[in-house]
Amino acid sequence: MSCRTSRRIRRTPKPPSWLPVDPYILALIGTVVLAALLPASGAGADVAGGASTGAVALLFFLYGARLSTTEALDGLKHWRLHVTVLACTFVVFPLLGLASHGLVPYVLTPQLQDGFLFLCLVPSTIQSSIAFTSIARGNVPAAICAGSFSSLAGILLTPLLAALLLGGGAGGFSADSLMKIVLQLLVPFLAGQLLRRWVGGFIARHREALGYADRGSILLVVYTAFSEGMVTGVWHQVTPLRLGALVAAEAALLALMLALSWYGAKRLGFGRGDRIAIQFAGSKKSLAAGLPMASVLFGAHASLAVLPLMLFHQMQLMVCAVIAKRRSRDPLPGQEPVSPAPVAVG
C-alpha cells in the first residue's frame, strides 16, 4: 500500500460488544483446545503438516500480491522513520530478548526463554499498527509503509537472527531450515509481486473473503504446531506458575518497548504523528509472520516456542487499544480535545 494512499485501509469487522477479546483470539484459543483434545498424529499429522505448508505459502503469496512495489519504494522517502521502526524491531527487541537469559531458571524454563527470545526476533504487524495509528490520529501512511517494510525484512532477518542468537534452541537451525523458509515464505511473496499485475484487482475486490483465508492459514499452523507438541509431550514442561511468570515478563517487555519507542522518537526529533506510528509499529510483533517460521525452526517444540508470541499478541492488542483511544483525545495544534469515535480493531 502507498504512503500516499492512506485512505484505503482495511478495517476488520467490529466484534460484538459483549466479547471481552477479539473473536479471532477466541478462535486461536479454540484451536489450541482442539489440538489438546484431538491432536493430529500419524498419517493425520502428515496431512495437517502438508496443508499447513500450503496454507502459509498462499498467505505470503497474498501478501506479495497486495503490496505495490512502486508504492512501497515511494514510501522509502520517509527513511528516518522506517529505520527507527526497523531498529526497534530487529535491534532493541532482540537485545531485550537476550537479556531474558537472566530469567532462567528462576522465572522461565530454557524452552520458554527460547520462545521469549524468538518473539523478540519476528517482524512488526501491519494491520493493527495501521488501525491503532488511525484511531490515535497519527501518521497513517507512515504506519502502512513501516509495517510493510518490517514484514518484508523479517522474511530474511528473523531466521538469520534466530540462527545467530538461538543456535541449537531453534531446533538445530541449519542451511536446510533457511532454505525451507525461503521456499515457503519468500518465494511465494515474490511470486505474488510478479503476478500482482494480473491478480491484484481480483484480490482487492475479494479482500474480505481472502481475509478469512489469511486467518484460516494461521489457525491451521497453530493446530499443527500444538498437535505435535501434544504428541511429543512438551506441554508437561509448563506449570501454571511458569505461565504466570511468562505473562509478567512479557508485560514488562511490552511496557518497556512502548516507552522506548515513544520517548526515543521524541528525542530523535519526530513530531506527534510520526511518534504515534513509530510507537505502534515499533512495539508490536506479528503472529502471522512468526508462526510459520517457528514451525520450521523449532519442529516438535514449536508449540512451546509460539506460546510466548501468542500471549504477547493478545496483550499488545489490548494495551495498544487503550493507548490509541487515549491518544485520540489529545488536542492537535489549534484544536480542542475531542471525544473518540468507537473503532474496532482486530
Q: What CATH number did the domain enclosing 251 receive?
A: 1.20.1530.20
Query: Per the structure block, which three cell numbers stand in for 333?
Result: 495544534
List of E strands, 233-316: none
Structural domain includes residue 69: yes
Give the CA dihedral 305, 310, 315, 318, nearest 10 degrees. 170
pLDDT at 49: 76
Helix (H) or strand (E) run with residue 270 in it? none
Structural domain includes residue 29: yes
Structural domain includes residue 334: no
pLDDT at 276: 95
Cα–Cα dist 118/36, whole Å: 23
State the sign of the Cα–Cα–Cα–Cα dihedral 241, 247, 249, 251.
negative
Domains in the chain, number: 1
Q: Tell me whether residue 7 is exposed, middle or buried, using C-beta atoms within 10 angstroms of its C-beta: 0 to 12, 13 to 18, 19 or more.
A: exposed
Structural domain includes residue 17: no
Structural domain includes residue 179: yes
pLDDT at 278: 95
Query: Per the structure block, which three cell numbers stand in for 261?
Result: 519507542
Structural domain includes residue 338: no
CB-CB neighbours of 343 under 10 Å:
15
Residue at 195: amino acid letter? L
CB 130 within 8 A of CB 143: yes
Structural domain includes residue 8: no
pLDDT at 329: 84
Tell me the helices (H) and strands (E) count for the chain, helix number first.
15, 0
Structural domain includes residue 197: yes
CB 59 within 8 A of CB 217: yes
Q: 10-residue block means of pLDDT along the chain (346 residues)?
A: 44 45 75 85 81 78 74 68 95 96 91 92 85 86 82 84 74 61 77 87 80 76 76 72 93 97 96 94 88 75 81 86 86 56 46
For residue 71, give its domain range: 23-327
**CA 249 vs CA 102, 103, 180, 253, 293: distances in Å:** 12, 9, 31, 6, 23
Phi then psi for 113, rounded to 5 degrees?
-70, -35
